[in-house]
Homo-oligomer: A and B are copies of this chain.
Amino acid sequence: MPESDHTGAVLTIDLNAIVANWLLLRGMLAGAECAAVVKADAYGLGADRVAPALARAGCKTFFVAHVGEGVAVRRVLPNATIHVLNGPVPGSGKTLIDHQLVPVLNSLGDIESWGDLARTHGAPLTADVHIDTGMARLGLPPDETETLIREPERLDGIKLTFLMSHLACADEADHPLNHQQLTDFLRVRQPFKDVHASFANSSGIFLGPEYHFDLARPGVALYGVGPRPGETNPMAQVVRLQGKILQVRDVDRPQTVGYGASHRVVRRGRVATVGVGYADGYLRSLSNSGNGYIEDIRVPIVGRVSMDLITLDVSDVPVDAACPGALVDLIGPHNPVDTVAAEAGTIGYEILTGLGSRYHRVYLDSAD
């Protein structure tokens, strides 16, 4: 990781807040276990730090997307249960077994190849089965599900841990697809009554207990993103991104700022340049639309976001507070992840997973 003095910004990640969020979600689940999704390097925040912090708080079950991610989490959590959502891609069988990773079987083809491997292995192999109830992305489609129900012997050699499905519109509480997916999942589950079931993601937990089943799989809410857009966000904020001012200039003549001359100066004022750009995941769509804060004073982005730099209008900030070396909140108390996402025309998830590798990262952890 780059040293603080050699970088354009400091990214502070509050592991205590992640743990608090996990405990809050766990508290909403009466009988169900609360897992944690740590795919995409724990949504950009560092799975090697996030997963152990959650494990210390009592989390026993983790989900990743890729086999390689599972191997990385296994390195820091020798005893946890780790599920691999994208399943047993060709060539990954030995790695999954060696690292005791539980693949999610997403098709009859997956089931067949995992069963074949179990027979070669000479002992049952654990796995989940993912039933698609409306995402049309991963999971057994309806015809394959019916085949599996008719021919349960296809699961011979496989020790089934969870029957799973995934909600497409859980963040819209009133979307009719939620209840339709629930109904479909309940129906498919009938023949698998003695198998545990997992259905809810972060937003799904908030849809009510009938969505909880045996295991919930929250991801984004752990990292501070609001699980119910448009409503008050109950999650603690996890991320603070502070960009460093490199230079401040007076703008007092008719001129433009940045590439494409997209911002025209209309009043006498000051522009600060900060060493963060779209190469750091500060999306280019924040050009002329994002906002930073110095203390509680808003400093709007002026001009285009460039690769390594942004320019902000600091005219309203006292000169001493907007000087080279001073820090600007690019994500912070006044502009949390969801706000920045809205300004960029996207969702908090993409802001988090885009957080770049050039930041100096600081972890807040009461265990330290």
Beyond the given A8-B65, A137-B257, please list 8 additional residue pairs across the A-B interface where CB-CB is below 8 A: A2-B66, A40-B307, A85-B308, A135-B258, A137-B309, A143-B250, A283-B350, A285-B285
Chain B residue with Cβ nearest A5:
B91
A143: chain B residues within 8 A (beta carbon): 250
Chain A interface mostly:
loop
Chain B residue with Cβ nearest A302:
B136
Q: Are B138 and A86 in contact (CB under 8 A)?
A: no
A168: chain B residues within 8 A (beta carbon): 256, 258-261
In the bound assembly, the distance between CA atoms of A275 and B258 in angstroms comes to: 36
Residue A80 at the chain B interface, CB threshold 8 Å: no
Chain B residue with Cβ nearest A323:
B109
Q: Are B109 and A324 in contact (CB under 8 A)?
A: yes
Q: A65-B308, A275-B65 are in contact. Are A5 and B89 (CB under 8 A)?
A: yes
Q: Are A284 and B347 in contact (CB under 8 A)?
A: yes
Give residues 155-177 of A contacting B (CB, 8 Å): 168-169, 172, 175, 177
A136: chain B residues within 8 A (beta carbon): 249, 251, 255-258, 265, 271, 303, 311
A89: chain B residues within 8 A (beta carbon): 5-6, 244, 246, 275, 324-325
Q: Are A86 and B308 in contact (CB under 8 A)?
A: yes
Chain B residue with Cβ nearest A346:
B284
In the bound assembly, the distance between CA atoms of A7 and B273 in angstroms comes to: 37
Q: Which residues of A contact B (CB under 8 A)?
A: 2-8, 39-41, 43-44, 65-69, 71, 85-87, 89-92, 95, 106-107, 109-110, 132, 134-138, 141-143, 168-169, 172, 175, 177, 244, 246-247, 249-251, 253, 255-261, 265, 271, 273, 275, 277-279, 281, 283-285, 303, 306-309, 311, 324-325, 345-347, 349-350, 353-354, 357-358
In the bound assembly, the distance between CA atoms of A110 and B283 in angstroms comes to: 28
A349: chain B residues within 8 A (beta carbon): 278, 307
In the bound assembly, the distance between CA atoms of A303 and B2 in angstroms comes to: 37
Cβ of A309 to closest chain B Cβ, rounded Å = 6
Q: Are A353 and B278 in contact (CB under 8 A)?
A: yes
Q: Are A86 and B175 in contact (CB under 8 A)?
A: no
| Cβ contact of A138, chosen from B71, B309, B325, cutoff 8 A | B309
Chain B residue with Cβ nearest A170:
B259
Q: A39-B308, A260-B169 are in contact. Are A273 and B44 (CB under 8 A)?
A: no
10 A-B contacts (beta carbon < 8 Å): A6-B95, A40-B358, A65-B309, A86-B309, A89-B246, A110-B247, A136-B255, A136-B258, A137-B309, A169-B260
In the bound assembly, the distance between CA atoms of A271 and B136 in angstroms comes to: 8
In the bound assembly, the distance between CA atoms of A247 and B277 in angstroms comes to: 36
The 8 closest A-B pairs by CB, nearest first: A5-B91, A6-B68, A40-B279, A2-B68, A279-B353, A65-B308, A6-B67, A136-B257
In the bound assembly, the distance between CA atoms of A143 and B248 in angstroms comes to: 13
In the bound assembly, the distance between CA atoms of A312 and B93 in angstroms comes to: 26
In the bound assembly, the distance between CA atoms of A3 and B99 in angstroms comes to: 15
In the bound assembly, the distance between CA atoms of A49 and B90 in angstroms comes to: 29
Most buried by B among A43, A86, A137, A250: A137
